[in-house]
A and B are shown apart, each in its own frame.
Chain A
C-alpha cells in the first residue's frame, strides 16, 4: 500500500517537475527585462545549489556550512585552467566538479566521525582555511582574483556580452539536473540508507548499513554539483576573487533556501530559492541605497519568522493536508 503511494507520488513529482521546467524554459519569451532575467538566473542557480546541498545535509543529515569551499573550488579550477592553460570552461567545469568531489571524499574520512555541532563547525572552518589559502596564493591571483577576458559572444568559451539567455538555460539545466539527481537518489539504495542514517545512525550501523560509504557518496555528489554551480557563477560574473566565491555567505545561501523551503525534501530547495532570492534582490533594490540597514532588518526578520512559524519549511504549507489524508 505504502509502496504504491510512494511510486504514485514519485510519478506525480516527475510530471510536475517536467511541467515546471517547461514553463521556466518558456519564460524568456515573455520576460525580456535583463534585471528580471538576472534574478531568475540567480534563483535557478541557488535552487540548484541548495538542492545539491540538500543531498548531503538534508537527506543524509550531515549539516554542512562549508559548501562555499566546493563552490569556490569549482570557480577557481575552471578559471585557472582557462586563463593559465587555455582549457575551455566546459572541461574546466567537469574538472572542478571532479576536484571538489575528490576533496569532499578526502575530507569525509576524518569529518564523518564528528557529530552535530562539531561537524558543522569543522565544515565552516575548512571552508575558511580554503578561503585564506586562496587569499594568499599568488599564482591563483591572491586577493586580486581572476578577471575572465571577454572577447565577445561564444558558446565555446561560454561567455556572452549582453544576452542572458545562455546563462538562464544553463542555470535551468543545473537546477533540473540537481533536482533529477535528488529525485533519482530518493528511490535508490543510497536514498534508503540515508534515511536510515538520518533517523538513527547507530541503529543503521547495527543493521549492516554501510553508513560511512553512503555518507561519502552523498558528499561527493553534493560537492560535484555545487562545484559545477561555482564554475557557472564564475563564467556568469566573469570575475572571481576569494571572497566573492568562497566566502561564508555562499555556504549560508546554499543552506537557506532548503531550510526555508523544507530541508530534506524534494521540493523544499526550489520553493525556498523561488521566494528567498527574489526577496533579497528586491529588498536590496528598494532599501539598499538608503545606507540605513533596512534591507538587513527586513531580510533577517523574515528568516526568523519563517524559521519559527514553519519549522518544516514553507513546503509544509502545501503538503500538510495531503499528508494527513494519506495517513488515514
Chain B
C-alpha cells in the first residue's frame, strides 16, 4: 500500500477518525480476560469453565456454519477478522484476589473486556474494578440478583438471576396446582454463602407472595462433614416439595443422607448448582429419578436446533462432559461479548459497552431456550427464560415452561 499525499492530508484533518483506524490496524487479536477459581474447593468449576470458553473460542476464531453470531468466517468481522485470545486468571474464590487479577488483566494484559467469575462475591469486586477502568464485565454465570442492581454501567448479564429462576419454579407450582396436584408446603434447604442465602431469600419472598407455606427453612454450613441433623429436620417436616440450593459436594451428601435416613420427599425442585453437575448424578443419580432442577440450558433443544447438539459434542470432546447449566452460560457469554466487540469495531471499553447495550440477538441464534438477548438499563437480560428440567432415565427432559417443554412432569417423583 502506497501512501499518497491526499491520504496524509485526509489523515491529518481527521485525527479523530485516525485513532480507531490505527487501533484496527494493530488489532490482529482481541484479548479477553477470564477470571475463575482454578485452585481450591471450586477449582472444578474453573476447569470446566476453561473448556467451555475454549469451545466458544473455536466457534469464534474458526469458520463454522452454526447459526450463531460470529460462527461463520474466521475471527471478528468488525475488526477485519481479528482473532480473540483468552487470558485465564485464578481468583481462588477470594474477592481481593479477583480484584487484583482484574486490575492486572486490564493494565498488563490489556484485555478489552472481562468475563467470569462463578462466585458472586468475586463478581462484586471484579465488576467494581471494571467499572473504574471502564472495561465491560460480562457476568456469565453469577446468579445473585443483587449484582446488577448496583448502578454499574459496565456490568452485563445475559443469563437469568435467582429471582427469575425462583419465579419460574413458582410459576410451575401454580400450573401444577391448577391441574389438581397438591402443593402447599415447602422445605427450603440452602447453604450459607451468597448463592444459597440469596436463593433462599428469593424463594421465601415469592412463597409468601403466592401463598405457599414454608414449613422448614434450613440454612446449613457449606461443606459440612455431616448433614444428618439437617436431613432429620427435613424428614420431620415432610413438606410437599423439597427445594435445595446446594453445590455439588453438599448435594451428594444430602442425597446420600436422605437415603440413609429413609427420607423420600414427594418432589425435589432444586436451584441448579450441584443439581446440574454430572458429578452429582454419577454419584447418586439412581436416587434422583424424577428430581427437578431449574436451568437455562437443555440438551432437548438439540431436537429443534441441531447446532446445540453439535456444539455440545465440541465441548464434550474437550471436557468429557455434556454442557450443563454453568458451562452453557459461559459459552454463550463469550459469544455475546465477542459479538459486541465485533460490532463496536473497536477494542475501546466505552465503545464495547455501547455495543453490548445495543445487543439484540434473537433466541434461536443462541444455544439457549431464551426469547432473545437484550440488556435493560441495568445490564440484565430479562428475556432469558429459565426452564425446569426433570431427570428421567439418566437424562434431563424439559418440563416447563410449556413452550419449551417436551414432556409432562412426573409428580410425585417416584
State whether these chains interact. yes
Contact A284 B47 (CB under 8 A): no
Contact A293 B39 (CB under 8 A): yes
List chain A residues, Cβ under 8 A from B92. 284, 288
A239 to B122, CA, bound (A): 9
Interface bits B92-133 vs A (CB < 8 Å: 1, else 0): 111111011101100110000000000001001100100011
Contact B192 A136 (CB under 8 A): yes
Contact B132 A237 (CB under 8 A): no
Q: Which residues of chain B from 209 to 253 have a CB within 8 Å of any chain A CB?
A: 219, 221
Contact A241 B95 (CB under 8 A): yes
Q: Which residues of chain A from 226 to 260 have a CB within 8 Å of any chain B CB?
A: 233, 236-241, 243-244, 249
B185 at the interface (CB under 8 A from A): no
Contact B219 A136 (CB under 8 A): yes
Q: Which residues of chain A from 163 to 187 have a CB within 8 Å of any chain B CB?
A: none
Q: Which residue of B lies closest to A247 (CB)?
A: B94
Contact A244 B95 (CB under 8 A): yes
A285 to B91, CA, bound (A): 10
Contacts A34-B103, A35-B108, A161-B132 given; does A243 touch B121 at CB 8 Å = yes
List chain B residues, Cβ under 8 A from A236. 96
Within the complex, the shortest CB–CB distance from A42 to chain B, in Å, comes to 8
Q: Which residue of A lies closest to B120 (CB)?
A: A144
Contacts A33-B107, A295-B39 given; does A142 touch B197 at CB 8 Å = yes
Contact A291 B38 (CB under 8 A): yes
Q: Which residue of B lies closest to A296 (CB)?
A: B39
Contact A244 B121 (CB under 8 A): yes
Contacts A38-B100, A162-B133, A284-B90 given; does A291 touch B107 at CB 8 Å = no
> In this complex, which of A33, A143, A233, A243 has the most chain B Cβ atoms within 10 angstroms of its Cβ?
A143
Within the complex, the shortest CB–CB distance from B397 to chain A, in Å, comes to 32
A162 to B99, CA, bound (A): 12
B193 at the interface (CB under 8 A from A): yes
Number of interface residues of B (CB under 8 A): 39
A290 at the interface (CB under 8 A from B): yes
Contact B193 A243 (CB under 8 A): yes
B369 at the interface (CB under 8 A from A): no
List chain B residues, Cβ under 8 A from A288. 38-39, 89-90, 92
A144 to B193, CA, bound (A): 7
List chain A residues, Cβ under 8 A from B89. 285, 288-289
Contacts A238-B125, A291-B39 given; does A233 touch B194 at CB 8 Å = no
A50 to B117, CA, bound (A): 30
List chain A residues, Cβ under 8 A from B192. 135-136, 142-143
25 contacts between A and B (CB under 8 A): A35-B103, A135-B221, A144-B146, A144-B198, A145-B124, A145-B194, A147-B124, A147-B150, A150-B132, A237-B125, A239-B124, A239-B128, A240-B95, A243-B121, A244-B94, A249-B94, A281-B100, A288-B39, A288-B90, A291-B43, A291-B46, A291-B50, A291-B88, A293-B43, A295-B90
**Which of A's residues lie within 8 Å of B, judged by CB?**
33-35, 38, 42, 132, 135-136, 142-145, 147, 150, 161-162, 233, 236-241, 243-244, 249, 281, 284-285, 288-291, 293, 295-296
Given contacts A291-B39, A293-B43, 11 further A-B contacts (CB under 8 A): A33-B107, A34-B107, A35-B100, A42-B100, A142-B197, A144-B146, A238-B128, A243-B193, A281-B100, A289-B87, A289-B89
